[in-house]
Amino acid sequence: MKYLISFVAFIGLTLSAEKADRPNVIVILTDDMGFSDLGCFGGEIDTPNLDKLAKNGLRFTEFYNTARCWPTRATLMSGIYSNGLGTGQVTIAELLKPAGYQTGMVGKWHLGKNPKKDGPIQRGFDDFYGTMTGAGSFYDPYTLARNTEFTEVDEEDYYYTDRIGTEASRQIGEFAKSDKPFFQYVAFTAAHWPIHAPEKSIQKYIKTYEGGWEKLRKERYARMLEMGIIDKERWPLPQREDRVKPWDTIDHKPWRIRNMAIYAAMVDHMDQAVGTIVQALEKTKLLDNTFIIYFHDNGACPEHLGGNGWNTANNILAKAKKAGKTIAVGDKFDVPMGGPMTYGSVGHNWANAQNTPMRRYKSNVHNGGACTPAIVHWPAGLKTKPGSISKERGHVVDLMATCLELAGAKYPKEFNDKETKPHESLSLVPILKGKTVDRDHAYVFNHSGTHAIVKGEYKIVREGRRPWALYHLAKDRTETKNLAKQDPDRVTEMAAIWEKRWGKKK
């Protein structure tokens, strides 16, 4: 009888868990964007949809990534600092699916090349539309796939960012047909090169950038101060990066102005796509209990293109060659960028302004590369005052523990008969409830020869073979004063954490 009662109690708990009002989860990730691009973070680009989410939600100013595309995606998906999804790693989708969640992904995967073997469908997602590789034409995306099959563009006026929005909306419509909650991962390629946007959208921003990148940087900084996102004491504006040239000495100004206008148009379209997603949630009456979190995979991109764009333009180069045409790749000053026969980038000069007020760029773990603005929106569950700016800290690695807690799921010791690696994720749920998290929890960075540890109120950073630099983040968020010589013991202590996690194994 005792066993029967226990079994009935277990069934009751299971049914209760199934009926529990667990939130839907949408993770929105954008690509190669600067810290101050969004209107709600001091930018001049029109982003009304994200601004509205921020106004009714919570903004982080100290949220970290790994400073590069694919490591951020692997770390986000697995809760383990890594450069890919390997043996022993399990994804959020793989764990939420057996917990009763529907799963879908739209956009850039960048964690495998073959949708039949190492794509989203093999990693726990029920539905996928997007690209397998890291970049490609927005008019004719490279490695475009639906579920497990490669596919081709199917509209005359196709623009990838817009399509990501409509495909995400389609998935939400399908999810709404079930009582089960859903987990959706939306990974935009905007505003990653190549800089592509509809001409009407480009023209909207041409006059905005006629004053150049130095003027833009000063205006953004002043606006961030006025909005209360930053303050002069803790966020001093660093000196201009050495490689950034003064605007009054630069040539080809109209060409460069247009490039930044294209970039702004790309961000604008990304925000419009976010609006499409929100409209789908409103239409299906799912917005109230949907946990949305938005952030960037790394900071602004300083890269200049050439050749085949690191193997991302192969499809359009081949098609152009067959048609007897030429694609303008890289800094072709005599060719206006933005159209389907171009393949360019904004480069380091504009990237420095996009990252205001941070130092460095993508692929470097100073805050210009590894600190992302983040927005959380969840009307039914967020307990902070709407529009608040959080002083708490987070990292993309924390999405695993956060999603597991929201879903009432457990992280397994084994998955698919394989032992799993312990995750390195810290749940952000206490922050959502208006509480604090442990600032002594160390965040670890290791990418492209740059290394860092964030712990307590301090950060150490090392570039290549240079010695560790030490910054007091509580007083110097923009990393302008190196305190390593004044506090060598702290540097040694924090460096030991990095060596334990990433140093050579004996």
- The string of pLDDT tens digits covering residues 171-202 is 999 999 999 999 999 999 999 999 999 999 99
Question: Mean per-residue pLDDT for 298-308?
Answer: 96
Residue 7 confidence (pLDDT): 32
- The chain-wide mean pLDDT, for the chain, equals 94
Question: Mean per-residue pLDDT for 282-309?
Answer: 97
CA atoms of 470 and 464, how far apart (whole Å): 15
Residue 13 confidence (pLDDT): 36
Strand partners, 455: 458
Neighbours of 233 (CB within 10 A): 9
Residue 414 confidence (pLDDT): 93
What domains can be seen in the chain, in order of their start residue? 23-305+348-437 (3.40.720.10), 439-506 (3.30.1120.10)
Residue 11 confidence (pLDDT): 35
Which of 8-12, 105-109, 481-485, 496-500 shows the lowest mean pLDDT across its residues? 8-12
- The token duo for 30 is 């954008």
- The token duo for 386 is 């709407």
Residue 144 confidence (pLDDT): 98
CA atoms of 463 and 85, how far apart (whole Å): 26
Give Cα 186 distance to the centre of its chain: 10
Residue 20 confidence (pLDDT): 55
pLDDT at residue 314 above 60? yes
- The string of pLDDT tens digits covering residues 493-503 is 999 999 999 88
Residue 317 confidence (pLDDT): 97
Question: Mean per-residue pLDDT for 292-307?
Answer: 97
Residue type, 471: Y
Confirm if 168 and 186 have CB atoms less than 8 A apart: yes
SS3 29: strand
Q: Please return the burial class of 86, using the count of CB atoms within 10 Å of its CB with bins 0-12, 13-18 and 19+.
A: exposed
Residue 242 confidence (pLDDT): 87
pLDDT at residue 1 above 50? no
Confirm if 343 and 329 have CB atoms less than 8 A apart: yes
CA atoms of 257 and 353, how far apart (whole Å): 13
CA atoms of 23 and 414, how far apart (whole Å): 26
Which of 5-19, 76-90, 366-380, 429-443 shows the lowest mean pLDDT across its residues? 5-19
- The string of pLDDT tens digits covering residues 317-334 is 999 999 999 999 999 999
Tokens 């380091």 locate to 348
Report which of 376, 373, 204, 391 is spatially closest to residue 300, judged by C-alpha positions. Answer: 373
pLDDT at residue 436 above 80? yes
pLDDT at residue 288 above 70? yes
- The string of pLDDT tens digits covering residues 77-112 is 999 999 999 889 999 999 999 999 999 999 999 999
Our CA angle for 40, 46, 52, nearest 5°, is: 45
Question: Mean per-residue pLDDT for 110-121?
Answer: 96
Confirm if 366 and 468 have CB atoms less than 8 A apart: no
First to last CA, the chain: 56
Q: Binning pLDDT at 50, 70 and 90, where does residue 433 land?
A: very high
Residue type, 234: R
Give Cα 316 distance to the centre of its chain: 26
